[in-house]
Structure 1
Amino acid sequence: MVFLDLHDCEFKLPRNFNGFGCLTDLILENISISDDDFSSVVSKCPLLKRLIFMVFYGCCHLKLNAPRLQELVVEGVFDDIHLEKYSRVGHLVRRFGRR
């Protein structure tokens, strides 16, 4: 799987989640997700190039470890965003901003 688009759901990772090794595009819209699950799913997608994260609940500290990320769109209310490992974010959009 290289493309995952999830809408209108509660997102909880299983304890033994190993990631999506081939995923390049991830779209999460109108979902409930914890800070830890968000950080984990992003960091366990080593080929992730495009992340769209819009209208989310339960997550306010966005921690990203995505060295291949080229496009990041965040639309929602959050406290902070931290890009740990990245080298190529060419397109960054942040809408609605912080709490």
Structure 2
Amino acid sequence: MMITRFWLILRDDSKKTFEVCGQAPNDNAFSNRTLAMQRAGMNVSCMTPPVTNKSSSKGLIKIAGYTQEEGLQKRLDKQYSDITSRGYEDW
């Protein structure tokens, strides 16, 4: 069986929250964005499990120890933007 789509799940490991950000046939850009956030000092991670019959709806996705947070990606994107727009002189 060939995997054709992945769930894009972003996690805030400090607050133990997650958001299912959607599906994509390729997770490279999503994973790279998360890595950039990590390099900027943010305590985040991502998961990209395959979309299966058991996880066909984003409401079915659960992560042990984490609660779902609507708007997490937007909040983390803003935080990342704030960090990177400060400029290198603040480092």
* TM-score normalised according to structure 1 size: 0.23
Higher strand share: 1
Higher helix share: 2
Which of these two proteins has the greater Rg computed from alpha carbons? Answer: 2
* TM-score normalised according to structure 2 size: 0.24
Which structure has more RCO (C-alpha within 8 Å, separation ≥ 6)? 2
